Amino acid sequence: MKKLFSLLCVLLLVSCSSDNNTDNTSAPNSYPPDLAGTIYYKWATEGILKVSLPSATGGSFIPDDTKLNSFDVSRDGNYRLTAINASTVGNYVVKFTLSNMENGSTVHEFNYTSPAGNSYCTGQLSADNSLILVKSNDEEDGITILKTDGELVVRIEGLNNTPFSMHDMAMWLPGNELLVTHGNLIIRIPPPYNSGSLVKEMNYADWGDLAVNHQGNQLALRIDNHLYTMGIDGNNMRQVTTSNFKESKPVFSPDSKYIMVGSNYRQSSVMGYSWDMKIIPNDGKEYNVDPVETNSSGVLPILWKGQDKIVTGSGDVIWK
């Protein structure tokens, strides 16, 4: 039986171009026909870009905006969520906008002020498009769940009297369940968000970049310099990438047949990092994704159609 944890919760009812890289991976003649969906990613000062598969058609998604805190796309591809720093002097506000992907019309828009008055708050849409998960880089803010019109559902301040830190991660599972990290623990928190169950205790000095597939039954993460997958129950851990460099930023394809990996993860500025995007089959095998050595058969570098340089990311990346 999994150990249960009590959460310190407060329920507040509201009345209601690419960089110069040396990767020598050959471009595929074509991508597999079952390689579907669109990858959205941040790159330098070009804003949020996108590449649709299997055609590899690339283009702009959101123009560069230094006030953009985060973006998300619904799993059905119908909606876009953005969080914009709308603060003015003495007024720390984040504007959330849910818009229709087809025609750009606004579905919901509201201003949000976090408990800590933090202007850097990010949002993620739940799988059923009914809720928004809000986090910031201030432990005082905890994890906040809102309805898409801004109404507060619950705020989870911490676990066992210990606040969440800026390094802890939180994401949606199907059924509006949460998957969070707290120190070296990975925890599931189902509605109504007042208790959680342990998935796995991570006894590693360096790990992170946790991701969950759309089906909610498999996780991917980085341990030291390489990527691993495991079941949502914390079992069946497998190393799936290797190289002489570092991998990061795993993202599952919508059908979980593939994993996008950030290979050759490196520091690209004083505060920034970048990585090259490659795709591997999600079959539990280990793939060499080195930027110099010959890659394993089955590794697919992501290149826009008609271009010859591998796609490079430098921020959030999603595959919807």
Q: pLDDT (tens digit, 9 = 90+) per residue, 52-64? A: 999 999 999 999 9
pLDDT at site 210: 98
Asked whether residue 23 carries a pLDDT value surpassing 70, the answer given is no
CA atoms within 13 A on the CB side of 193: 26
Asked whether residue 3 carries a pLDDT value surpassing 50, the answer given is no
Distance CA 125, CA 301 (A): 28
Of 18-32, 89-103, 145-159, the least confident: 18-32
CA atoms within 13 A on the CB side of 8: 12
CA torsion through residues 26, 30, 34, 40, sign: positive
**HEC letters along 275-294:** EEEEEEECCCCCEECCCCCC
pTM of the model: 0.90
